[in-house]
Amino acid sequence: MFVKKKYSQGAGIIFYKKENDQILVALGLRRGGRQAGFWSYAGGNLDATDKSYYDCAIREAGEEFFNHKQSLFNLIPPENMTPGKRVGINVYFIRWDAYFVDVSNIPVVFERQKSEIGDIRWFNIKHLPPKTHLLIRYEIWLARISGYFN
């Protein structure tokens, strides 16, 4: 079992694709809680079943963007699902890892979890919606300058 610390810990996956010389990221519109009305990637807090932050990210993406139908992950080649493309935020009371997964040229169809996600859309990384959390903007910016989208 992965040891959970007393501060907020979690992880998520940022699905991205290259299309018409643009980089697009999939974001979901949050329905409830403190982030209601904000656009976010699939992610959430660690739980007792998670062995790592990466396991948490896979579980959360399956729950929120694929509605527990993990079989849809089979469309994504294993080399695209490696934890190598990661941006970690670890400040004061937050530890959050965002993993970047390239789904270019893969027929991925998102099936949102209706209780948590109101809609899922693709957004250009240069033109994210106004109600995108600051940390998400920061993680995408870090991935951009790190060359993850090349």
19 assigned to some structural domain? yes
Give the count of domains, the chain: 1
Residue 94 falls within a domain, yes or no?
Answer: yes
Mean pLDDT, residues 114-118: 86
Domain assignment of residue 3, yes or no: no
Name the residue with higher pLDDT: 114 or 20: 20
Boundaries of domain holding 63: 8-145
Q: Is residue 150 part of a domain?
A: no
Report whether 96 contacts 86 (CB < 8 A): no
* CATH, residue 73: 3.90.79.10
Average pLDDT over residues 108-125: 88
2, part of any domain: no
